[in-house]
A = this chain, B = another copy of it.
Amino acid sequence: MVWCSGWRLASAVSQAGGLGLIGAGSMRPEVLQEHITKYKKSPGKSFGVNVPLLYPEIDKLMKIIVDEGVKIVFTSAGNPSTWTGFLKDKGITVVHVVSSVKFARKAEQAGADAIVAEGFEAGGHNGREETTTMVLIPMVRDAISVPLIAAGGIASGRAMLAAEVLGAEGVQVGSRFAASEESSAHDNFKNRVVKAGEGETMLMLKKLTPVRLMQNGFFNKVQEAEKRGATAEELRELLGIRRAKHGMFEGELEEGELEIGQVSAAINKIQPASEILHDIWKEYCDARKKLSL
């Protein structure tokens, strides 16, 4: 979500009854500051900020978050014990994103208020265990006692209800909002997501950090390199820098890195965020009704 979730999308989601997140992972500290300031001028109420814990200037992000009185922080991609205590001391609710039972337990022990468990089908960076949402959610539910938010493969009310059945109290929806009108992603990227068919995303770059990417010229080069057994160093060189920004934010569809979930195959239109939330809620209610027949 990092290249898609600026203040505009977060605000639209919060106004429609969801919890909008500003994805700080793609932002320089001063850009995060700007997004929070703009958010506060918008009609959006509560919001959260997502912070990847491997962010190089994380101290600066955390200072902004505290100074701006942000109430909810989603942490991901790193050790939850480093920052959870600090944020909790400031009265901030901390939600940590994991892709395994092992790290769900660690996050709970570190004091996280809730856990996002993200399955193999999710877009972007992902776990090495490759555990799918269907298998992961019940196992994490049985292992922890704090609230559980399911992620990965969830873009509809049917999937939301399925996640609830599997043991989640909430869901995190990425891909469908990446293709929303308010997403800061480039229109080229949104149109590509909407066109994606089944099998068009794959988990790649496993020798570096596994990441789910959409097929394009860059993807093909990675695939070819991996097939011939390219080393981590060769892959790092091939990846280079700024590819994700280039692809998702600037709309370079062939040479950019296009991070999106497997469920993009089921996403068929670019909609306003409020309409997406409304649709998901309606589908959820319909799915509940259908069950009681």
Interface residues of A (CB under 8 A from B): 100-102, 119-121, 128-136, 138-139, 152-154, 156, 158-159, 161-167, 198-199, 202-203, 207, 226-230, 262-263, 265-266, 287-288, 291-292
Contacts and interface: CB of A to CB of B under 8 A. Distances in A.
A172 to B, nearest CB: 13
A230 B198 CA distance: 27
B138 A199 contact: no
- Tell me how many chains of this kind the complex includes: 2
Contacts of A226: 229
B131 A134 contact: no
A154 B130 contact: no
A202 B130 contact: yes
Given A121-B132, A132-B153, A134-B134, A139 B199 contact: no
A287 B228 CA distance: 47
A198 B165 contact: no
A198 B134 contact: no
A158 B135 contact: no
Contact of A134 (B102, B132, B164, B287): B132
18 contacts: A121-B132, A121-B134, A131-B199, A131-B265, A132-B133, A132-B134, A132-B152, A132-B153, A132-B262, A135-B262, A138-B156, A139-B198, A158-B165, A158-B166, A159-B166, A162-B163, A162-B165, A207-B227
Contacts of A153: 132, 134-135
Contact of A135 (B100, B163, B227, B266): B266
Given A135-B266, A291-B164, A198 B158 contact: no
Nearest to A292: B292
Contact of A198 (B129, B162, B292): B129
B156 A134 contact: no
What are the nearest 10 A-B pairs in CB distance?
A229-B229, A129-B199, A134-B153, A162-B162, A132-B132, A228-B229, A162-B165, A121-B132, A135-B153, A133-B134
Contacts of A120: 120-121, 132
B165 A138 contact: no
A143 to B, nearest CB: 10
